[in-house]
Amino acid sequence: MNLKEEILKLKQELDVTVVGHFYQRDEVFELADITGDSLELAKKAKLSDSKYIVFCGVGFMGESVKVMDPDKIVLMPKVACCAMARMIDEGYFEENLKIINEAGISNDDILPITYINSSAAVKARVGEMGGMVCTSSNAYKIIQKGLESGKKIFFVPDRCLGQNFAKSLNLKSSVVGDGTSLNDADIICYNGFCSVHQLFTVEDIEFYREKYENILIAVHPECDPAVCDAADFVGSTSQLIEYIKNLPEEQKIAVGTEYNMVNRLREKNTYILSSTKPECPTMNETTLQDVYNTLKSIKDGNIIEECVINVSPDVSKWARVALERMFKV
Ligand code: 13P
Ligand code: SF4
């Protein structure tokens, strides 16, 4: 039996659901029982009644499942941490609050919203302050809901997502530490970003438009605001797939998001909106061998300790509040 067949056999024998984000390597993605964007994965994994969740993605995704259902045993074949999520911890969160306070804006005037690409500890702090989580597919709605409080939004950690949704809601945004006025802004953004999505530029868009008449450009909202402004469509990974699948066969499109996902859409006249291969190093870390080792360790009753996702009860409590507020909206 080859590795893939061994994995399929173990999946049948065990009380396990394998979850895979669109950015996973093809061979891993194909084996997943549940696939989707961050919001869909969080929702679907929550509904799974398997004892074990084997999550092929990045750390914050596995953590979110554990937070929502502490009784599940969540394992990640590779505990790979999203580079953007690593840009913020509770310490940086507090430091930013201090800077905002020094500008004369008190904590009572702020509602924090965290992009799901953040640690459970950051989500917990946001939950404690009355805030909530959002993903790239529901940020518009969540920010709208947040604004009903009459407060300024403190959006962490992705400045691009914060700026892009501020624009689409006709709101003013600023970024802590970049010299823009925090007082004038409706949305104050933390200065984090995704290094993969920073690869796409307006020059790339111009290049494709010059080369192919009538080509469409679709990008993820983690791209720079200038790139999103110049694009024809901006959406989460699921929204991008849906948009591309519904295009006529002959329509050319250049897509600004991670390589594995775009490559799977190749038959639809699809181009990658960059001359640099936009791979997410952490998403790419999980291999077929890692998935096999994790499943085999469950079967042998000898689970690999470092693959187990644990979240302390006090962090879990407030992170769950922030996630549940999102699910309610
Ligand atoms: P989605 O929620 O759109 O799947 O995005 C997750 C992500 O990490 C994009 O870089
Ligand atoms: Fe994180 Fe960017 Fe990778 Fe998405 S693509 S998981 S935001 S580093």
CA distance 88 to 158: 10
CA distance 46 to 43: 5
pLDDT at 266 over 80: no
Mean pLDDT score, 71-80: 92
Q: Which residue has the higher pLDDT, 268 or 173?
A: 173
Does residue 320 belong to any structural domain of this protein? no
Q: How many CB atoms lie within 10 A of CB 195?
A: 13
Q: How many CB atoms lie within 10 A of CB 90?
A: 13
Does residue 317 belong to any structural domain of this protein? no
Question: Residue 322: its pLDDT value, please?
Answer: 97
Average pLDDT value for the chain? 95
Nearest-CA neighbor of 29 among 307, 328, 286? 286
CA distance 329 to 326: 5
- Looking at ligand 1, which residue's alpha carbon is closest to its atom 4? 37
- Looking at ligand 2, which residue's alpha carbon is closest to its atom 2? 194
Q: Of 141, 157, 189, at which residue does a domain stop?
A: 189
Nearest-CA neighbor of 79 among 38, 119, 26? 119
Task: Mark whether 178 and 205 lie in a shared domain.
Answer: no
Does residue 66 belong to any structural domain of this protein? yes
CA distance 251 to 224: 25
Question: Residue 45: its pLDDT value, please?
Answer: 87
- Ranges assigned E (strand) in 132-221: 132-134, 152-156, 173-175, 187-189, 216-219
Residue 38 belongs to domain with CATH number: 3.40.50.10800
Residue-wise pLDDT for 42-70, tens only, equals 889 888 999 999 999 999 999 999 999 99
Pocket residue to mutate for ligand 1, from 19, 21, 29, most atoms within 8 A of Cβ: 21
Task: Mark whether 103 and 29 lie in a shared domain.
Answer: no
pLDDT at 268 over 80: no
Give residue 302 CA to ligand 1 midpoint distance, Å.
32
Provide the residue range defining the domain that includes 255.
Answer: 197-272
Question: Residue 155: its pLDDT value, please?
Answer: 98
CA distance 169 to 226: 16
Lookup result for tokens 């901006």: 234
Give the atom of ligand 1 at the shortest distance from the alpha carbon of 240. 3
Sequence-distant (6+) residues with CB within 8 A of 133 are 113, 114, 115, 116, 123, 126, 142, 322, 323, 325, 326
Question: Residue 169: its pLDDT value, please?
Answer: 95
pTM score, whole prediction: 0.94
Residue-wise pLDDT for 147-172, tens only, equals 999 999 999 999 999 999 999 999 99
Task: Mark whether 225 and 139 lie in a shared domain.
Answer: no
Give the whole-number percent of the chain exceeding pLDDT 90: 91
Residue 150 belongs to domain with CATH number: 3.40.50
pLDDT at 80 over 90: no
Pocket of ligand 2 (CB under 6 A): 58, 82-84, 117, 194, 196, 222, 258, 280, 282-283
Question: Residue 179: its pLDDT value, please?
Answer: 87
Task: Mark whether 72 and 7 lie in a shared domain.
Answer: yes
Does residue 326 belong to any structural domain of this protein? no
Question: Residue 267: its pLDDT value, please?
Answer: 74
Mean pLDDT score, 24-42: 93
Cβ of 237 less than 6 Å from ligand 1:
yes
Give residue 14 CA to ligand 2 midpoint distance, Å.
30
Residue-wise pLDDT for 194-250, tens only, equals 999 999 999 999 999 999 999 999 999 999 999 999 999 999 999 999 999 999 989
Does residue 324 belong to any structural domain of this protein? no
- Looking at ligand 2, which residue's alpha carbon is closest to its atom 3? 280
Does residue 322 belong to any structural domain of this protein? no
Residue-wise pLDDT for 116-129, tens only, equals 999 999 999 999 99
Q: pLDDT band for position 79 (50/70/90)?
A: confident
Residue-wise pLDDT for 104-117, tens only, equals 999 999 999 999 99
Phi/psi for 106 (5° steps) reads: -85, 165
Does residue 329 belong to any structural domain of this protein? no
Nearest-CA neighbor of 221 among 212, 211, 231, 213? 231
Inter-CA distances, 152 with 45, 100, 173, 322, Å: 32, 11, 10, 17
Pocket residue to mutate for ligand 1, from 55, 222, 241, 323, most atoms within 8 A of Cβ: 222
Mean pLDDT score, 290-319: 95
Number of domains in the chain: 3
What type of residue sits at position 312? S
Nearest-CA neighbor of 70 among 306, 297, 317, 302? 317
Cβ of 38 less than 6 Å from ligand 1:
yes
Lowest mean pLDDT among 85-89, 123-127, 266-270, 275-279: 266-270
Q: Of 155, 173, 189, at which residue does a domain stop?
A: 189
